[in-house]
Homo-oligomer: A and B are copies of this chain.
Amino acid sequence: MGIVVQKYGGSSVSDAASIKRVAQRIVATKKAGHDVVVVVSAMGDTTDELLDLAHDVSPLPDGRELDMLLTAGERISMALLAMAIGNLGQQAQSFTGSQAGVITDSAHGRAKIIDVTPGRITRAIGDGAVAIVAGFQGVSQDSKDITTLGRGGSDTTAVALAAALEADVCEIYTDVDGIFTADPRIVPAARQIPVISYEETLEMAANGAKILHLRCVEYARRNDMPIHVRSSFSSKEGTWVVSAERMSDMLSATLTNEGDGEAPVMEQAIISGVAHDRSEAKITVVGVPDKVGEAARIFETLADAQINLDMIVQNVSAAATGLTDISFTLPRADGQTAMTSLARLKDEVGYAQLQYDDGVGKISLVGAGMRTNPGISAKFFKAIADAGVNIEMISTSEIRISVVVNEQQIDDAVSAAHRAFDLDAGEVEAVVYGGSGR
């Protein structure tokens, strides 16, 4: 059998007891005949505690030194995990990001992986050992300094290593059973998704679903590395994140088995799920002269301020006035900066006023099936309207429709959309992908 890469997050290794539990799972995988490479995050709150220490000695710690500090966290968890595995009679060796060959650029705190040269890992598993690798960290190509990958870093390490090792699968262990059709705290009837494409997962992640980070999914997509998101507290199958091609194969295999009387659990729904996001704010620039270049000035200014915009809507200008309104959403954390930058433009652009609203939320319907199923948008908007929720902005991609609504009404809107598309557990009208859809 081939190589399995398993990634365990901080909550899975928060204390000695949970480290021992994870060790047992790893040894079981090894005993089942796989070569096992494990990527591990820092224990529980270690990273936050180290950050607190850093800010105690310096209000603005140097990036290189902050990375040196934070990487101590995985060093502790990976060594403890290796010891716990050793205590079960299975050889295990831990490796820092640098030792594992995770080569990055020099952007401290948000380094990008340039290359993975896992020679030591290959040797370790060749010797029959389990290799434990520190997530979230690497070494810069130019200066050989220790770097960290930023948010979602350990997941990205796991996928990158899996790709470099040509592993069969990258298993991401977490404290839930997999990816759900909606946040179960909002929609108790939300169901676990058995299989989903990279593209749909990217849309879910980019629009507020917290389960996998964008970078990790993008890395997996580029390298066609199957991800299996599953719970570290059970042995249930989780959610497979794979290419559309592999997804078709998996579905065909399941359908072929249908004659056995088993339920066709792997059928592809038109809609994968409903994501939501409460982290954005909306800014409207009212009364912009509808001349060539005015909108461009506004967006240049925001780009110069390093602000990533999400949805952008420009209304058709009223013929009588020659003025238009431009609305966009952005991370709330950047709201103050954006407003200050725009205020400076007032005389130059000659707009009437700025409106700022951080009481908004975004709901996104995601599904590859909407490519071949007209009428999805209409059904989505009607469901939201029927729930008494007003839509403030709309944006779409090929496999996603997003709307901005009042933040207070997000839960109602998510529940309504989830129900309208028959995603609630026990209400599934499974539609075979590319089949009965119209």
Taking beta carbons and an 8 Å cutoff, which residues of A are in contact with B? 16, 19-20, 23, 50, 53-54, 56-62, 64-66, 68-69, 71-73, 75-76, 78-84, 86-87, 92-94, 99, 120, 144
Contacts and interface: CB of A to CB of B under 8 A. Distances in A.
B16 A99 contact: no
Contact of A72 (B59, B65, B76, B81): B76
Contacts of A20: 57
A144 B99 contact: yes
Contacts of A87: 57-61
Contact of A68 (B16, B61, B69, B94): B94
A84 B53 CA distance: 11
A75 B80 contact: no
B71 A83 contact: no
Given A75-B75, A99-B144, A144-B99, A54 B83 contact: yes
A54 B72 contact: no
Contacts of A56: 16
A3 to B, nearest CB: 22
Contact of A53 (B16, B62, B93): B16
B79 A75 contact: no
A261 B323 CA distance: 92
A75 B73 CA distance: 10
A65 B82 contact: yes
Best-buried of A19, A50, A58, A73 by chain B (most CB within 10 Å): A58
B93 A64 contact: yes
Contacts of A16: 53, 56-57
A80 B16 CA distance: 26
A198 to B, nearest CB: 34
A75 B72 contact: yes
A107 to B, nearest CB: 17
Nearest to A78: B68
B54 A68 contact: no
Nearest to A139: B99
Contacts of A92: 62, 65
A47 to B, nearest CB: 12
A71 B72 CA distance: 8
Contacts of A62: 82-83, 86, 92
A385 B196 CA distance: 88
B65 A83 contact: yes
Contacts of A76: 50, 53, 69, 72
A54 B57 CA distance: 28
A396 B282 CA distance: 85
Contacts of A69: 75-76, 79-80, 83
Contacts of A75: 68-69, 71-72, 75
A50 B76 CA distance: 8
Best-buried of A16, A66, A76, A144 by chain B (most CB within 10 Å): A76
A82 B68 CA distance: 10
A80 B53 contact: yes
8 closest pairs, A vs B, by CB?
A69-B79, A16-B56, A58-B87, A68-B79, A57-B84, A58-B83, A72-B75, A72-B72
Nearest to A64: B93
Contact of A57 (B19, B60, B72): B19
Contacts of A65: 79-80, 82-83, 86, 92-94
Best-buried of A20, A23, A83, A86 by chain B (most CB within 10 Å): A83
A75 B67 CA distance: 10
Given A68-B94, A75-B75, A83 B99 contact: no
